[in-house]
Amino acid sequence: MSVVNISCYKFVTLTDREALKADLTARCLALGLKGTILLAPEGINVFLAGSREAIDAIVSHLRADPRFADLAPKESLSAEPPFKRLRVRLKQEIITMKMPLIQPEAGRAPSVTAATLKQWLDRGCDDAGRAVVMLDTRNDYEVEAGTFDNAVDYAIGIFSEFPPQLAAHRDDFAGKTVVSFCTGGIRCEKAAIHMKAIGIEHVHQLEGGILKYFEEVGGAHYHGDCFVFDEREAVSADLQPATGRLHR
């Protein structure tokens, strides 16, 4: 497999999105990269595929901008590019929640690493002895591909349905530690900030999402595959394209 696939995001205020769009479009085309880059006032979201050299070049270019210096792409490999073309798009949010008071750049909710989460799940409680609840923040068709064992899932169709569902079930988390998770970290970061804002006390986001968990600890306490938004449709715990096709 010779194609490197990366995904990464950063919540940071962007006031020069038109210039960024022009620059990143030109550089990605010159490098032969395919995929999608979303630019919003709240930040950047990147899904790209290409050769090892091209991926390293675009990551270096992005990190040269102080706003993106700490980008930490998650990687997987495939035999073919899972995207047909390159798209660099301007959007109002890099992930649509329709909660304008949430500004992740102003402060993140606490995060938990994959290794620490596995330890918690192994023993059934966090370091303080509280029961751990895994909260899936993804859409219903993504959850169908796979999720953590015994995860709470609200069967939402779009992410903007998450806040009202959470409000209706807030009391379910009293005295427990809630770990929000998603594919790559972006939705569970927004979700965790919202949970803190509405008074849920013990909240963590899974750092780097399911893909980083797979990368660091494999598929422990997870069943099925992870849905991804490209032509692979899903990857298994070893980050290889999942066998079989999803139907939705």
Would you please indicate which residues are annotated as catalytic (active-site) residues?
182
* Alpha carbons within 13 A on the beta-carbon side of 164: 7
Q: How far apart are CA 57 and CA 54, in angstroms?
A: 5
N residues, the chain = 248
Is residue 90 classed as helix, strand or coil in its secondary structure? Answer: strand
DSSP E strand stretches across 25-166: 34-40, 43-50, 74-78, 86-90, 111-112, 132-136, 146-148, 152-153
Question: How many helices and strands, by DSSP H and E, does the chain display?
Answer: 7, 14
Q: How far apart are CA 77 and CA 217, in angstroms?
A: 17
DSSP labels for 195-215? Answer: HHHTT-SSEEEETTHHHHHHH
Q: How far apart are CA 135 and CA 153, in angstroms?
A: 6
